[in-house]
Structure 1
Amino acid sequence: MSVRPTAFTNVRIVDPASGYDGPGAVIVTEGVIADVARGGGLGALSPDIQVIDGAGQALLPGLVDIRVKTGEPGAETKETLKSAALAAAAGGVTSIVLQPDTDPVIDEASVVDFILRRARDIKLVNVYPAGAATRGAAGQRMAEIGLMAEAGCLYITDADRPIVDSRVFRRVLSYAKSFGVLVAHRPADPWLSAGAAASEGEFAGRMGLPSVPAIAEKIMLERDLALVELTGARLIVDQVTTAAALESLKRGLDRGLPVVATTSINHLSFNEIDIGDYRTFCKVEPPLRSEDDRQAVIEAVASGLIQIVVSAHAPAPAEDKRLPYDEAAPGAVGLQTLLPALLAFHHEGRIPLIDLIRAVTSAPADLLGLAAGRIAKGAPADLVLCDLSAPVIIDADKLISKSKNSPFDGRRLQGQVLRTLVDGRTVYQA
């Protein structure tokens, strides 16, 4: 079924890929952007074109979220691919990369193919799998990296499980480099992190929570950077959350290592004190850090030291969260709250709007070799029309995700998605 050509007029185009933030108009035809008029209108339009007057609202590239968990396959009560895709569309996220720690684990080409076929059947947002770096994401034997890359996985990772054995991780990096495949790895010393529910410090001590020192992140990152230097492989540092690790990251980048770092919207928005009276919705992995660490991470995003922000969407049903804090499942849903939570730093004047949007559009798209993440002639028509200033009070019960575990529950934010397009199709409209 062909989609009628659409023109977005009278919009504020925010396109980090070109550095443009200003008035303009866009025509979408046959799933791609057919024309972009910066600074003015499109002139006379054919009567068969549907015209949408943006009334000065922002037109953004669709968001690209490279760290999303679902429960499918294996734990559909948490989240299905369809419920995640619906939540993504409502949040202006048009491309998601699924983590491989499902059941079965995405550690061979057939499971990659299953995910891609399911996504095509759902026909909502673009869904890409990440493949496991090791068999069963167990950190012991390498998975079929080359075959999974051929099948369509965008990078390899063991998700929340650090690969402890340095010899195994060296092999993974070397093998991935030979296929030109990106590797993502969470820096966390496993012995210091074992059993931790919070970040070590005065607050965790007063709360009586088992904790992990911030240095655990730096220790593992230093090892990973040394192995990157040895192998020459490209590495995504998966969620930097501490000031100490940022120092190591900067030194590695200054040495020219092929490394890109991400952080999560949770670690930008909350600190350890937000745990409050044992709020399990604020139990995430890695745990929330000190306010000094949070401020350091915000500055790293502002400076470009951290290039990508992720939702770290990790659904957990109520029965897994309504437990004593140290027994509750970690994780938070974030697909619908990523954009308004990110816009808080624009409204506070902390980070320019175009830099914030770059961290969730062109930066992740360029890293993964996707054509998305930009408003340019010939690019996929993955777009978001957004009222940047509209007040939004987050009600976790009204989120589309099957699980409602949002730390933003009750928080007042600004930024409402009005319409989301994927390949020129409207997949969400407020």
Structure 2
Amino acid sequence: MTRPPARPRPELLRELLLALLPLLATVTLLALATQPAYDALLHRGKGLKPYAYQGLVQDLLLYRADLLDPRLTPEQRAASYDRALSSAINREQYAFLDRIEASDDFRLLNVRRGLEQRTPEGLQRAVQEAIGLNNLVRDYSAAQSAAYEQAFTEMRGALIGSAVFSGLLSLVLILRSLLLWRAEQRRAQQREDRQREALNLASHEMRRPLQSLLLAADALRASPDEALRQRLLAQIEDSAAQLASRADLTRLNDLYLDVTLRVQPTDLTALVRRFSSSRIHVTAPAQLLWSVDANRVRQMLENLVENAVKYTQGAVELTLDAVEGAPRVQVRDHGPGMSDELRGRVFLPYERGPQSLTPGSGLGLPLVRRYARAHGGDVMLTHAPGGGLLITLTFGQAETHVRPLTPQGRLTPG
């Protein structure tokens, strides 16, 4: 089965037409510029030659002179008359005669009639008519020359103008190409920056389950207790699932940039109680169900708890409750707190608190805000009563573009 030929993309056709635009514009302008001169040559001839009119006047004057010359024979005078009459009869030799006669009252026919009278008065009228026609031809020739000169002057200006216009148009198209190239470079840089950001966030989020997996594997080697070994194996399995959830290279954009959630009804109490330890005091209701992406919520809680532990050596309080029917998580530490100016910047990537007890990249809180807003909520930092920092995470209805997931009994990758 043969594949149908690919159709050219509209963008390619547009660029081809734009590339041809200077050529089309130049041809059009040149055609318009040369049209007046072409019309002048077409309708006014290739130049008026008034020699026939001058010859008519000379034949008439010569005939008059022959009539007064007593040395000429009658045959010579008759030959001179025939020559003058032949010039007056032959209209085809006079260029633009109809136009010349239409411009005034002088007529070649009057020259003929005057000659045919064969009287001094008739000859005088014939000479006056011929001279008048000759003067009209001279004026018409001067006007025609001026029209030619003007037409070619205009053509010269139009040619220069068309060249300037084509040059400017080419310059504009070159500048447009440069701007398009720069825009494509910026888009490529933005894509590269987004990819780098996604990889940095993935690396940041993989660190915790990887550390947990390594610690559990190390403890498993030295554990003689079967029950402890089973718990460690479950922890390893959970850490491996989290690594798979956070390191899916085919979904980095959905996971970290344009967040796409996989929502299912989840018991938030079970998620929160996973963080209970000697330093982390958890307070939560018996059960609190809400439609969330469980893996993303777990990442938010890990980042908030880790952030609180970094900035204090004392206890951290983790509280889950419901406000107006919507879940709320609060994490409080008893550390030095944070200035108002810094609290306004910590949600920017790579911004960190001033007194971190352990190194960090400053990517955790920006990711928490991104996930929280995808869940229809937000995260806020405030001063805790009595000192320290209070982080409040709220939930709402998840965004409409989220991808539903069939409810299951445990956390799954992705």
Task: Tell me the TM-score normalized by structure 2.
Answer: 0.20
- Larger RCO (CA within 8 A; separation ≥ 6): 1
Task: Tell me the TM-score normalized by structure 1.
Answer: 0.20
Structure of greater Rg: 2
Q: Is the helix fraction higher in 1 or 2?
A: 2
Q: Is the strand fraction higher in 1 or 2?
A: 1
